[in-house]
Amino acid sequence: MIDIKQFAALQKQSKNSFANQRQLMKKVMAGQTVLCSTCKQPLYLLTPKQSRTSSNASTENPEKSGIRCKKGCTDIQLDFV
Ligand SMILES: [Zn+2]
């Protein structure tokens, strides 16, 4: 059983991280440099268009847009776009 306080804290946390993701996305899209909080590498915007230009790389062919760092510790999928 999860007690109600823990549950509320969890909810708050996920809401915050969603807001953070949107904030990150806005900054990256505006051309600002945002560093990954884990590896401190700059984040970049990944678009399906971009991935299609690399020929036949079926292993890494994301259908969706997202924001990633080089190492992949930040990997936000933009499902809502
Ligand atoms: Zn990273």
At residue 7, the pLDDT reads 87
Structure tokens at 51: 């991935």
2 pLDDT exceeds 80?
A: no
Question: Edge-to-edge strand order for the sheet containing 75-77?
Answer: 44-46, 66-68, 75-77
Residues 6+ apart with CB under 8 A from 45: 28, 29, 65, 66, 67
Contact (CB, 8 A) for 69 and 36: yes
**CB neighbours of residue 64 within 10 Å:** 13
Please tell me whether the overall predicted TM-score, pTM, comes out greater than 0.95 for this model: no
38 CA → ligand 1 middle, Å: 5
76 CA → ligand 1 middle, Å: 11
At residue 43, the pLDDT reads 94
29 CA → ligand 1 middle, Å: 18
Q: What are the beta bridge partners of residue 46?
A: 66
